[in-house]
Chains A and B, each alone.
Chain A
């Protein structure tokens, strides 16, 4: 096998390992990653039930609640990660290693997807058991939509990782700033179309917006009229985002590394 390919595959596995292990070794995630989202889900479910909304809306909320695991993971454990790595002294060891920097972020993404998938599945399971959503159909199209959404979403996280590093301590505030507004504009707990076409279209730059919208259309075809665009178009846009974000992440990483080597201090933790 080509040395670069072998090296980068090993690097991806190596960097994914702490996240995979972290998901299994630290039981505190059950509280933070499942019970807290279920509380948020419960609030919306009770509102919809009080308003006598169609039962599909309960499904909308459970799905949105499950996808928060991925969004939080992208925001705090992808975008902000290089900054934390710098603070604990790992980043300079990563930058000194021969593997591609994209493998580093790729490993973080693979591990993050693994951990978040467990959290999301658990949220769906508890949500369905507690709130008894509507009957589901499970079309095959759901698989590519879900995968492309994750690639685009984690690609965006990879791009933000370099930018957050350049923003330094403001990264923390940026992440906080983005958390709740994105819940809102991406329609985590309601169909994004309710925000109006132009707001929903603008929010579509965040892959989870269209990903959620498509998945809802596929899972609950009886309320597909709430979809922003037909699923095929949304998949097309998601594919474009899934290509653009990783490319931009690569460019941002290269720029960041170059800047770090010229200026010093960006990736280094001086004694």
Chain B
């Protein structure tokens, strides 16, 4: 089997300088010198696959992308992209890949959007005429055609992000890394990007996309397979359907309540596999998600809340989502 991307026991550790104050203190978990960004990561992405890396901020997704796009070296382990080792054969990898990051605003404000993407295409040996034609086609797809001859500095943030997508796809890469490509975009712009990515993989049999996201809906909608990553470790890797099956025999209970003083009581309730909580600062309410194996736990959960004299504003039992898979694995929500 030819893998577009393969990693074996991949590790990446960042060393950070400790401040003078920290050097005087005993090393603790907070001020430690080394940060483990990736810990023994093993993934295999098939050619033609749309593969998702789902995880919260700081999980190691971007670090993995940086290694695969030859910008970083692994500390330990190995990685191959299009069959080439990332540490040794960078030229052959770089000719076949491209990468787009959400929130990017690369390019020069003085140049037009079209000139900017043309410039980047020249670093990949794309003939000028081909690049200009592809740029126009992609600008049409992303709804930027009318603005293609405007200076980049006059474009909005969302438009620049779409220009980043044009830049990434203008080289017609075999493998593209999309790092949170819809980050901060409005609903419509995100939908355009998601539709384009899905169509691109479907229409080109051998093209591969590795997408990182912390939007579970995006991963669920787009990806053939998803790896859930947290604190540098890949926790599970399967199709979204199979992942959801792992919690299907469980139920997901969502509660919106007044904040409690102590949430640890929920840990002692039998039948709760895991739960997450976050406080909505706008409503000042706690949003709790419980993955429960035994329905009897529901009454105990409600007793804890009402026992503290707090109000239950909403109670829902829902179909499992990828976020529920994440909650059941790590005990906290994605965002």
Q: Are B91 and A268 in contact (CB under 8 A)?
A: no
Pick from B66, B71, B91: contact of A98, CB under 8 Å: B91
**Given A6-B125, A14-B119, A96-B97, A264 and B110 touching (CB < 8 A)?**
no
Give the shortest distance, in Å, between A118 (CB) and chain B (any CB).
Answer: 16
Q: A134 near B: Cβ within 8 Å?
A: no
Residue in chain A with minimal CB distance to B119: A14
Q: Are A88 and B110 in contact (CB under 8 A)?
A: no
The interface residues of chain A lying within 8 Å CB-to-CB of B72 are 261, 264, 268
Q: A182 near B: Cβ within 8 Å?
A: no
Give the shortest distance, in Å, between A134 (CB) and chain B (any CB).
Answer: 39
The interface residues of chain A lying within 8 Å CB-to-CB of B228 are none
The interface residues of chain B lying within 8 Å CB-to-CB of A88 are 105-106
Residue from A3, A88, A98 whose CB has the most chain B CB atoms within 10 Å: A98
Q: Are B71 and A26 in contact (CB under 8 A)?
A: no
Interface residues of B in 219-251 (CB under 8 A from A): none
Q: Are B125 and A3 in contact (CB under 8 A)?
A: yes
Is the interface on chain B under 10, 10 to 19, 20 to 34, or 35 or more residues? Answer: 35 or more
Q: Are A13 and B103 in contact (CB under 8 A)?
A: no
The interface residues of chain A lying within 8 Å CB-to-CB of B70 are 96, 261
Q: A18 near B: Cβ within 8 Å?
A: yes
The interface residues of chain B lying within 8 Å CB-to-CB of A22 are 108, 110
Interface residues of A in 237-264 (CB under 8 A from B): 260-264
The interface residues of chain B lying within 8 Å CB-to-CB of A90 are 106-108
Give the shortest distance, in Å, between B263 (CB) and chain A (any CB).
Answer: 30
**Given A11-B123, A268-B66, A95 and B110 touching (CB < 8 A)?**
no
Q: A97 near B: Cβ within 8 Å?
A: yes
A18 to B123 CA separation, bound complex (whole angstroms): 14
A53 to B312 CA separation, bound complex (whole angstroms): 93
**Given A21-B111, A88-B106, A97-B94, A14 and B62 touching (CB < 8 A)?**
no
Q: A31 near B: Cβ within 8 Å?
A: no
The interface residues of chain B lying within 8 Å CB-to-CB of A114 are none
Residue from A11, A14, A94 whose CB has the most chain B CB atoms within 10 Å: A14
A13 to B119 CA separation, bound complex (whole angstroms): 8
Interface residues of A in 12-65 (CB under 8 A from B): 13-15, 17-18, 21-22, 25-26
A208 to B95 CA separation, bound complex (whole angstroms): 38
**Given A17-B115, A262-B73, A271-B62, A96 and B110 touching (CB < 8 A)?**
no
Q: B7 near A: Cβ within 8 Å?
A: no
Residue in chain B with minimal CB distance to A90: B106
Q: Are A14 and B118 in contact (CB under 8 A)?
A: yes
The 0/1 profile, CB within 8 Å of A marked 1, for residues 173-215 of chain B is 0000001100100000000000000000000000000000000
Q: Are B122 and A14 in contact (CB under 8 A)?
A: yes
Give the shortest distance, in Å, between B84 (CB) and chain A (any CB).
Answer: 12
Give the shortest distance, in Å, between B68 (CB) and chain A (any CB).
Answer: 10
Pick from A18, A99, A263: contact of B108, CB under 8 Å: A18
The interface residues of chain A lying within 8 Å CB-to-CB of B115 are 17-18, 21
Q: Are A89 and B105 in contact (CB under 8 A)?
A: yes
Interface residues of A in 96-153 (CB under 8 A from B): 96-99, 104
The interface residues of chain A lying within 8 Å CB-to-CB of B102 are 271
The interface residues of chain A lying within 8 Å CB-to-CB of B124 are 7, 97-99
Give the shortest distance, in Å, between B108 (CB) and chain A (any CB).
Answer: 5
Give the shortest distance, in Å, between B24 (CB) and chain A (any CB).
Answer: 25
The interface residues of chain A lying within 8 Å CB-to-CB of B78 are none
Q: Are A97 and B66 in contact (CB under 8 A)?
A: no
Give the shortest distance, in Å, between A191 (CB) and chain B (any CB).
Answer: 39
The interface residues of chain B lying within 8 Å CB-to-CB of A13 are 122
Residue in chain B with minimal CB distance to A7: B125
The interface residues of chain B lying within 8 Å CB-to-CB of A25 are 110
The interface residues of chain B lying within 8 Å CB-to-CB of A96 are 69-71, 94, 97-99
Residue in chain A with minimal CB distance to B177: A96
Q: B172 near A: Cβ within 8 Å?
A: no
The interface residues of chain B lying within 8 Å CB-to-CB of A263 are 15
Pick from A15, A92, A261, A271: contact of B73, CB under 8 Å: A261
- 9 closest Cβ pairs, A-B complex: A14-B122, A98-B94, A97-B123, A7-B125, A10-B122, A261-B73, A89-B106, A14-B119, A98-B95
Contacts from B to A (Cβ < 8 Å): 14-15, 62-63, 66, 69-73, 90-91, 94-95, 97-99, 101-108, 110-111, 115, 118-126, 128, 167, 179-180, 183
